[in-house]
Amino acid sequence: MNYKNIAFLAFITFYSIPLLFSKPIGEKKISYQDKNYIVPKHQVWKLSWKSPYKPDEITPAYDVRVLGKLFGKQNKAQIREIIYDDEIAFDINATKNQAIIWLGSGTEFYLANDLIKVNVEIYMQ
């Protein structure tokens, strides 16, 4: 592990600890739309969802695609780093359990289809 990775992990740990002990300022449910969602300034969103697919069903490449930085993850989210429009993006799928990811302000993301239902907890940054 190089110094950049260590510095990044230290930053994420330091940055996310206050969120673990704070309460959300709001909650909402989101679903598929034709445009990207963008996390507003000075907010961190905690996204959680379960896979709507049966184990033997053919699924899309992702449930949620994050354009830009992924703030953190919890649980059994399956994450793949990809190149999308010459930028780094992340394709995320829920596995057997509920997937939970954290996105910082300004992060863009979108949902694969109308089967994906995401719960959002909103925190102040």
**3-state SS record for the chain:** CCHHHHHHHHHHHHHHHHHHCCCCCEEEEECCCCCCEECCCCEEEEEEECCCCCCCCCCCCCCEEEECCCCEEEEEEEEEEEEECCEEEEEEEEEEEEEEEEECCCCEEEECCCCCCEEEEEEEC
CB 108 within 8 A of CB 125: no
Q: Which of 55, 57, 67 has its CA nearest to residue 97?
A: 55
pLDDT of residue 62: 94
Q: Which domain holds residue 81?
A: 3-124
Q: Which of 32, 6, 5, 11 has its CA nearest to residue 112?
A: 32
Strand 108-111 vs strand 64-67: parallel, antiparallel, or unpaired?
antiparallel
Q: Each residue's pLDDT tens digit in the chain (125 positions)?
A: 555 545 444 544 545 555 555 789 999 999 999 889 999 999 999 999 999 998 888 989 999 999 988 877 666 788 999 998 888 999 999 987 789 999 999 999 999 999 999 999 999 98
**For the chain, what is the domain count?**
1
CATH of the domain at 67: 2.60.120
pLDDT of residue 114: 93
pLDDT of residue 8: 47
